[in-house]
Amino acid sequence: MSVLKTAEPAPDDTPIRRPAPAAPTARRRVHRRSWRQALRRDWQLYSLAVLPLLFFAIFRYLPMLGNVIAFRRFQPGGSLFGEYWVGLRYFRMFLADPKFWDVFTNTVVLGTLTLLFCFPLPIVLALLLNEIRTRTVRRFVQSVSYLPHFLSIVVVAAMVAELVSVNGTVNQLVQAMGGDPTPFLQRPDWFRAIYVSSEVWQTVGWGTILYLAALTTIDDNLYEAARIDGANRWRQTWHVTLPGIRPTMMTLLILNIGTFMTVGFEKVLLLYNPLTYPTSDVISTYLFRMGFESSNFSYAAAIGLFEAVIGLTLVFGANAISRRTTGTSLW
């Protein structure tokens, strides 16, 4: 009696396809867990950032809500965000105001002079300090050049006013050489020179710190190779040192351009007077007078917003040009 056996089906060689895991969800979960673990592990370090973030949130970003009064009629004692909507009325007012364009011109001139003198001079001073081999002399020069930065602007303005007053040191030197004393702070043609020279004295020494730090990152082998190729000290500076600190230079240049329109509000406010308005009155001081002396807060807010938009445009433009030309940018 034969037993019939049922033939088993041949095994299928087709590979078994398993459903792919939900990668995005898993990645998200892993990312969240790693962030929480890092926060638990380094919470002391993260806590150090709380106060700076609160400072910027309260004193930098929250006041931006007040820009709405540039488009609304604001009256002291009324609504915090203005009484009613006026649109671009205040922008048209200052664009048609010849006084505003006078202070705009003064701002551009003072900003250009400050940038031309206060940006390259720290580089020059850093290169000169880098060439000093005597450590004692270098530290002395650094200390003397850094000290003005730590002085209050009020103190600096008072020192400048005393130096250039009619009976001040400058006029005493002028009289000693046979000249007549000059009221420098009452002469509009002298204000820009006084302001820029005081800015150079106060900021150049402090500006060398970042450049000196950047100089320490340059490889000494590059200088050795340049000397082997017969390069003198000037060519080493031009072909090795300056390219080595170029990223730092471009970053600081972009930041300086960002503050181009603000100039130095506190120092100008302390040094200027109605006699020097033709050359000393800038946007920030004009805005101050419109807002606090004339109580025209909406008009002042419109001027400030206009100034901020120009500064933001300059930062973006300088960053784009720097990225395309040198490959260095802030973002």
At 22-34, the pLDDT tens digits run 555 444 444 455 7
pLDDT surpasses 80 at 199: yes
Domain boundary (38, 66, 87) is at 87
Residue, of 44 and 11, whose pLDDT is higher: 44
Q: To the nearest whole number, what is the mean pLDDT of the chain?
A: 84
- Domain assignment present for residue 13? The answer is no
Q: Among 1-5, 27-31, 164-168, 326-330, which range has the highest average pLDDT?
A: 164-168
Domain end position, chosen among 72, 87, 102: 87
Q: Identify the pLDDT of residue 4.
A: 43
The structural domain count of the chain equals 2
Tokens 């400058």 correspond to 170
Catalogue the E-assigned strands of 189-269.
none
CA 225 to chain CA mean position, Å: 36
Do 71 and 54 lie in one domain? The reply is yes
CA proximity to 126, closest of 224, 238, 245:
245
CATH number, domain of 289, equals 1.10.3720.10
Do 192 and 181 reside in the same domain of the chain? yes
| Residue 97 confidence (pLDDT) | 87
Evaluate whether residue 35 is within a structural domain: no
What pLDDT digit, counting tens, does each position of 241-271 carry? 998 898 889 888 888 888 888 887 889 999 9
> Is residue 15 scored above 60 in pLDDT?
no
Region 151-172: mean pLDDT is 91
Q: Provide the residue range defining the domain that includes 267.
A: 88-325
The pLDDT of 68-97, averaged and rounded, is: 86
Say what the pLDDT of residue 21 is: 53
Domain-embedded: residue 26: no
Which of 87, 115, 150 delimits the end of a domain? 87
Q: Are residues 109 and 222 in the same domain?
A: yes
Are 157 and 258 in the same domain? yes
Regarding whether 56 and 96 lie in a shared domain, the answer is: no
Between 19 and 299, the more confident residue is: 299
Domain annotation covers residue 163: yes
CA–CA distance, 13 with 18 (Å, rounded to integer): 15
In a domain, 297, yes or no: yes
Q: Are residues 145 and 68 in the same domain?
A: no
pLDDT in tens, 84-117: 888 889 999 888 888 888 999 999 999 999 999 9
Is residue 130 situated within a structural domain?
Answer: yes
Q: Which of 72, 313, 1 is nearest to 321 (CA)?
A: 313
Please tell me whether the overall predicted TM-score, pTM, comes out greater than 0.75 for this model: yes
